[in-house]
Structure 1
Amino acid sequence: MERTMREQVEATIEVIRPALQADGGDIVLRSVDAATGVVEIEVFGACVGCPSSDASLEVGVARIIRDRVDGVRRVVNVAVATGGVCAHGAGAADVADGHAGAAAPGVV
């Protein structure tokens, strides 16, 4: 049985989640529109508002989801920034390696 796009995104988020949680953040899947390829997520926690979070979202979270799930065109962070403090100052490259925090709102 072939998995739906939502199931594939959920499985990918489970891979990403431990790295975010290690820095006091987290990620929640809000919606998947298979017709348009738009995935809405919410990232929150200690790194919301961190200066490197937009890059972390694009280079890490969004790229990983797009790479692992066929048909995903855009990943939208629907979170509202709350001005958190980054737990360890992780940069965008750290996310791709599984070591970064959550991201600020944005479309990537």
Structure 2
Amino acid sequence: MEEQIKKLIEEEIRPALQSHGGDIDFKGFDQASGVVTVALTGACGTCPFAQETLRVQVEQVIRRSFPSVTAVKREG
């Protein structure tokens, strides 16, 4: 499942964030807890709306495709 999550990030989430000067790096997936960990970089790393971006543009997309994912957390 980790590879599928990475593919979704690469194909759907990363292009959207890059179009706004940001980026995302997959850091890990804890299968036991269902938590995906990512790092927001570029403009997203310092944006005051980064938490909202994480919730709306990252977590919702991942959870829609992978219902077993319980949360997406930001590294750091």
Normalised TM-score (structure 1): 0.63
The percentage of aligned residue pairs carrying the same residue is 43
Contact 1:8/1:69 (8 A) holds in 2? no
Task: Give the counterpart of 2:5 among 4, 9, 12.
Answer: 9
Unaligned runs of 5+ in 1: 80-108
Q: Per-residue deviation at 1:48?
A: 2.3
Q: What number of residue pairs does the alignment pair up?
A: 75
CA distance in 1, matches of 2:54, 2:17: 11
**SS of the residue aligned with 1:63?**
helix
> With structure 2 as the length reference, what TM-score do the two structures score?
0.86
Q: How far apart are 1:41 and its partner, in Å?
A: 0.6
Shift of the alpha carbon at 1:76?
0.8
Look up the SS of the partner of 1:47 in the other structure.
helix
Greater fraction of residues in strand: 2
Say whether 1:45 aligns with 2:36.
Answer: no
Residue type matched to 2:3 in 1? E
Among 70, 73, 84, which residue is 2:70 paired with? 73
**Structure 2 stretches lacking a partner, 5+ long:** none
| Structure ID, larger Rg | 1
SS of corresponding position for 1:35: coil
Larger RCO (CA under 8 A, 6+ residues apart): 1
- RMSD value over aligned CA atoms? 1.3
Map of 2:30 onto structure 1: 33
